[in-house]
Chain A
Amino acid sequence: MAEYLVDIKNERLSFFTPAGEVKALNDVSIHLSEGEVLGIVGESGSGKSVTAYSLMGLTAHPGKLIGGTLEFNGHYINDMTEKDMRKIRGNEVSLIFQDPMTSLNPVYTIGNQIEEVILLHTDKNKKQAHERAKELLELVGINEPEKRLKQYPHELSGGMRQRVMIAIALACEPKLLIADEPTTALDVTIQAQILELMMELKDKLGMAIIMITHDLGIVASMCEKIAVMYAGKIVEYGTTDEIFYEPKHEYTKGLLKSIPRLDAEEHERLVPIEGTPVDMLNPPKGCPFAPRCDSCMKICLREMPPVTEFGDTHYTQCWLNQKAQFEGGKVQ
């Protein structure tokens, strides 16, 4: 048995577009134990979703895994064929998406879409699958499941559809649930309900969750560990407390400063991170965040910083931390 449920080591993944190679993931390492919740935060295009999708073998067309090893639940994803991948998708690892309005097929009933995945991965017959689907709808808190199973997606509200998506994802009791911005498209009260439901189900079923989001609020309340991604790299990784109370990377600090706070003074303004995300076609030579960093040093523009570790769980890639270590005499 592998040590971790998910063990991604030094993953490199590029999209080979007509305009050139886009290094979507550059040396990304993530590990996750059973039942753990990991949050991946970062802005659009930082590689959050790509990391998670590659774990399911769902990298979109011009994308190609070019380095590193991916291990999930004892499977070596690198060596798996598409056919073997299909056996774990929706079964051992499931995915829920951002927009529940468009994630369900409009021309089939809810029942059909839930039963489909049960029939695919288990040897239940149609009747048993129907029963299971009913159970699942109850589990995700949908009333009148018998009636709902016969309805079409357009007859349900956004929150309900996301519950249905969760029901589909949980149909085969996966070990890992990947939630790709599961609440972005929902309004705030529904968001809270969906997140609460996910946490409840996690405790009930004991699955691990990878939560992809750019909402730090969600991460703070749900996740045990956080990976902060920027331009295809994990710039900081740590437990939730470490990230929120002792952020080491300038980008993480910037993100935290840009969250509205309840206890803020009147007229206090939010501090945005200046500048624009990097052009992934022509990434800068040094640290990708350097052009936007307030504390940028000469070396930052020249060379990618090495990893600085703080204890077992917390690490970052930033020259400032290297400097602190040099000055403290702790040369690695």
Chain B
Amino acid sequence: MAKYVVKRIAMAIVTIWAVATLTFFLMNMVPGGPFLSEKAVSPQAMAALEAKYGLDKPLSEQYVTYMTDALHGDFGDSLKQRGRTVMSIIQTKFPVSAKVGGMSILVAFCVGVPLGCVAALNRGKFLDNLISVIATCGIAVPSFVVCTVLMYFLGVNLKLLPTFGLTSWKHYVMPVMALSFYPMAYIMRLMRSSMLDVLGQDYMRTARAKGLGQFKILFKHALRNAILPVITYLGPLTAYTLVGSFIVEKIFTIPGLGGEFVGSITSRDYTVIMGTTIFLAALMVVMNVIVDILYKIVDPRIKLN
């Protein structure tokens, strides 16, 4: 176990380093820069700004400087949002996104798993078809459409729910629904197919031959085996969802981190691009370790190394 942890940490460091390096150079290859705007900036001002942030130095030097600072925990100041460090942006915005994202993962899991099971148990019947239609919609319909439809019916027509902000529990309903729709659909499909696979296994027949009841057969013998693919999917999904969605956050005006990912790129806010990307990569690595450990707990055949 200790060996495994050491190995995973080493791998994590390499992964994050690779992501950071790749992002750094790709980002600088994109034309444009943080200080270009419609309003022309005088060449002197531009030179002064670039000098201030070290952007006038050769790229390799910038890279070394950035990496050294990052290793010391300093991810720099935002180039566009005056007076804010990248760290403070992540610290204030991530919790907002994580709260909405966390709830939507919970919803996706708690709805997706049972519905997937129900579909598998009613294979070929009406309920299965209905769930398949929902799952297909969930995967095919883009989130801005989901958001708009939700907003139109629940917010504008029925006036049941507020359409922007995050001040009461009611504000969470629509963003969480919109965010959870895709993963829920995906989990349903995964669960359905793996459940069908498990139901055909010999050990299910053994369970029946033992005289176990339907409930125990399903919950003890089938579910634990069938849930494995869902756990695999849950790792990266959690990382992506916790950092927020650009579209959902824009539509429901949620001050989350999701907007920063896209916003920083369009505005060439180099330090924020780096910071958010490294943050996502780190989160992803952590989630994958958690998934591996969960996997080991659920399926004893898996060996951690």
Interface flag for B203 (CB, 8 Å) = yes
* Contact call A94/B209, Cβ cutoff below 8 A: yes
Interface flag for A183 (CB, 8 Å) = no
* Contact call A106/B225, Cβ cutoff below 8 A: yes
The segment from B55-63, B136-144, B297-305 that touches chain A is B297-305
- In the assembled complex, 19 residue pairs joining A and B whose CB atoms fall closer than 8 Å, in A order, are A56-B209, A85-B211, A90-B209, A90-B210, A90-B211, A95-B206, A95-B209, A97-B202, A97-B205, A104-B203, A104-B206, A105-B203, A106-B203, A107-B298, A108-B220, A116-B212, A120-B211, A154-B301, A168-B206
Interface flag for A91 (CB, 8 Å) = yes
A91 contacts which chain B residues (CB < 8 A)? Answer: 211
The CA of A89 and the CA of B207, in the complex, are separated in Å by 10
* Contact call B209/A120, Cβ cutoff below 8 A: no
Interface flag for A4 (CB, 8 Å) = no
* Contact call A152/B211, Cβ cutoff below 8 A: no
Chain B residue, CB-CB nearest to A151: B300
A140 contacts which chain B residues (CB < 8 A)? Answer: none
Interface flag for A99 (CB, 8 Å) = yes
For chain A, the bracket of interface size reads 20 to 34
Please report which residues of chain A, range 145-159, place their CB below 8 angstroms from some CB of chain B when the two chains form the complex.
152, 154
* Contact call B213/A86, Cβ cutoff below 8 A: yes
B221 contacts which chain A residues (CB < 8 A)? Answer: 105
Chain B residue, CB-CB nearest to A57: B208
Query: With A86-B211, A117-B210, A117-B211 as given contacts, are A106 and B299 in contact (CB-CB < 8 Å)?
Result: yes
For chain B, the bracket of interface size reads 20 to 34
Instruction: Select the residue from A85, A95, A103, A104 with max chain B CB neighbours within 10 A.
Output: A103
Q: 0/1 per residue, A168-194, Cβ < 8 Å to B?
A: 100000000000000000000000000
The CA of A60 and the CA of B207, in the complex, are separated in Å by 14
- Closest approach, in angstroms, between the C-beta of A35 and any C-beta of chain B? 21
Contact of A88 (CB < 8 Å), options: B201, B205, B211 = B211
Instruction: Select the residue from A58, A116, A121 with max chain B CB neighbours within 10 A.
Output: A116
Q: 0/1 per residue, A57-101, Cβ < 8 Å to B?
A: 010000000000000000000000000011111110011010100
* Contact call A107/B205, Cβ cutoff below 8 A: no
Please report which residues of chain B, range 272-305, place their CB below 8 angstroms from some CB of chain A when the two chains form the complex.
298-301
Interface flag for A102 (CB, 8 Å) = yes
- Closest approach, in angstroms, between the C-beta of B178 and any C-beta of chain A? 35
The CA of A168 and the CA of B213, in the complex, are separated in Å by 17
A85 contacts which chain B residues (CB < 8 A)? Answer: 211
Interface flag for B7 (CB, 8 Å) = no
Chain A residue, CB-CB nearest to B209: A95
Q: 0/1 per residue, B152-196, Cβ < 8 Å to A?
A: 000000000000000000000000000000000000000000000
A121 contacts which chain B residues (CB < 8 A)? Answer: 211
Interface flag for B84 (CB, 8 Å) = no
Query: With A86-B213, A90-B209 as given contacts, are A107 and B202 in contact (CB-CB < 8 Å)?
Result: no
